Structure 1
Amino acid sequence: MSTTVTPVTPAGAAPVAAHVRATPWLMSAPGIALFLVMLTAPLLLTALLAFSVFDANLGTVGDGVTLANFVAIVTDPYYYAILWRTFWIALVVTGLCVLIGVPEAFILSRMRNPWRSVLLVAVLAPLLVSVVVRAFGWSILLGNTGLVNQALAAVGIGEVRILYTNVAIIIGLVHVMLPFMIIPVWTTLQKIDPAAANAALSLNASFLTTLRRIVLPQMTPGILSGSLIVFGLAASSFAIPGLLGGRRLKMVATLVYDEYLNTLNWPLGAAIAIVLLAANLIIMLSYNRLLEQRYKKRLG
């Protein structure tokens, strides 16, 4: 004779399970609300403004919905030139930050205290100073009578016009963005077991081979994260291009500023901002997808 045992559900088990499932959402609610209010709502309002009509006679936003702002951006070579300048400068800045920041992060990870703390403070110290202050500092250094030109004159090269050029913008952006490359790479290196590199060296692998085959693949996530941060911030930077590039060399952020405050064409400025955001997302997501696939394929 067989007996079937029916499991008994304790009283109140269902409410407890529902409470457990709701707990993460309740804990995340303040952050989600802040995200919706501070980021999503302004983006939606900017997108709605981009489709608004601009009344040139009154200098105000008129009634109605139009695609004229986006058509003007797509059909005018002037905007193509500014978009091209913005993205190639952001790409150059990202490449220079990789070339400078990755070795510096590697050296930082191999240093011992107290020198590691000293170098880490030196890396993070620029973040404590306003970007505007740093931009003014570079404008003084790169000016016609600045220290850079004085040094060039001392070695016989003569005066070189650096300020209000693309070179000045790149120098300023690299200085500002370098910590955003060093910190992610350094954080990734902190998670790598140094025994793997030491084992490769003990098996007669050269230092460069160890870097290329052992260390570099493991620090790739940090390089990817830092590159995305640097590229996004450099492409949308305003203070450095505005102060070191001048009124002639415009980037997208300075163009949006001019449309909002000089010509008062808010719909066109909003449309340019939306185009910058969309182009940034497409480039960054494609870059992330490409490197992620290569990284997974390389590590199997």
Structure 2
Amino acid sequence: MTAQTSSTPWFLSFPGLIFFLGMVVLPLTLTAVLSFHAYDFNIGVLDSYTLSNYTTVLSDPYFLSIFWRTLRIAFVTTVLCVVIGVPEAYILSRMWNPWRSIFLLVIIGPLLVSVVVRSFGWSMLLGSTGLISKASIMLGLGPVRILYSEAAIVIALVHVMLPFMIIPVWTAIQKLDPGLEPAAWSLGASRFTAVRRIILPQISLGVLSGSLIVFGLSASSFAIPGLLGGRRLKMAATVVYDEYMHELNWPLGAAIAFIVLVANLLIMLAYNRMIEAKARKVLG
């Protein structure tokens, strides 16, 4: 192998590496450095460094409750997306054109509309004077108060995140041999058994990819919690926004953002290792 050939991959990947360093690594590094700066409410950000921002966040029950709420909502959203998205992906893979194209467009439709517009749409549906509440009153069940609750945030997040679950799973199913299920049926397996023991183990990495994307995006979501959760029901992203824009305490906001980032990475890496180990065990 010549020196020119061996250097070609590095040369081709250099623009992407520069973009990654400039748009991802550098902002994260600056955020991490900012999180260690001291802050004075009369002066602002100081040149001195301290760990007080992290001790304040990790010892305050207010911030801990927000972290727990963020992880809880992200986890529930991910579970619901798996429960709903995997069957949808399986059904989509068994469709023929033009129905497959039509339903694929319906699935990715939420991505074509601004998240703010979708959030306002859900606020009108879930509000005390919304369609759902009016239907409940007509049925004699009384008004339904869903807006400004965790349920409203989860409903909107599931609606937005479903395409990120369905597309990776559908792609994994498309790579399977179409004769696997008929072979299982010919050996006496039911449809449910064939899906559970043949299909699901082989698409587990697709489920992993989708669930990691959904969890990460849900935990860092800002617009939906801000519009459907209100000012009292905060998540991590809304607290970071408040610290930056309202309190002007940038170091504390940076510390919160960095803690959320590290927590997300640890959870996602642990989940990734668990699923991959299980997949290797199933596939032999």
The TM-score normalised by the length of structure 1 is: 0.94
Per-residue CA shift, 1:148-184, capped at 9, x if unaligned?
1011112111101110001000001001101000000
Distance 2:140 2:101 in 1: 39
For the residue of structure 2 that corresponds to 1:71, the secondary structure is helix
Distance 2:235 2:109 in 1: 27
Determine the structure 2 residue equivalent to 1:24: 9
Per-residue CA shift, 1:75-132, capped at 9, x if unaligned?
1111110000000100000000001100000000000000000000001111010101
Determine the structure 1 residue equivalent to 2:106: 122
Determine the structure 2 residue equivalent to 1:39: 24
Distance 2:266 2:30 in 1: 21
1:295 offset after TM fit, Å? Answer: 1.1
1:63 offset after TM fit, Å? Answer: 1.3
For the residue of structure 1 that corresponds to 2:38, the secondary structure is strand
Determine the structure 2 residue equivalent to 1:13: none
Determine the structure 2 residue equivalent to 1:80: 64
Distance 1:163 1:255 in 2: 19
Amino acid of the residue matched to residue 48 of structure 1?
A: V
Per-residue CA shift, 1:237-275, capped at 9, x if unaligned?
000000000000000000000000000000000000000
Aligned length: 284
Mapping 1:53-64, distance limit 5 Å? 53-58=38-43, 60-64=44-48
Distance 2:4 2:47 in 1: 48
Distance 1:72 1:181 in 2: 36
Amino acid of the residue matched to residue 31 of structure 2?
A: T
Determine the structure 1 residue equivalent to 2:204: 220
Amino acid of the residue matched to residue 250 of structure 1?
A: K
Amino acid of the residue matched to residue 174 of structure 1?
A: V
Determine the structure 2 residue equivalent to 1:238: 222
Say whether the 8 Å CA contact 2:115–2:224 is kept in structure 1. yes
What are structure 2's unaligned runs of at least 5 residues? none
Answer yes or no: is 1:171 the counterpart of 2:155. yes
Which of 255, 269, 272 is the aligned partner of 2:256? 272
Mapping 1:145-160, distance limit 5 Å? 145-160=129-144
Which of 154, 160, 178 is the aligned partner of 1:194? 178
Which of 71, 76, 79 is the aligned partner of 1:95? 79
Rg: which structure is higher? 1
Mapping 1:199-210, distance limit 5 Å? 199-210=183-194
Say whether the 8 Å CA contact 2:202–2:283 is kept in structure 1. no
Hey, which bits of structure 1, 4+ residues long, moved more than 3 A? Answer: none
Answer yes or no: is 1:49 the counterpart of 2:34. yes
Amino acid of the residue matched to residue 65 of structure 1?
A: Y
1:299 offset after TM fit, Å? Answer: 1.4
Identical-pair percentage: 62
Distance 1:205 1:283 in 2: 36
What are structure 1's unaligned runs of at least 5 residues? 1-15
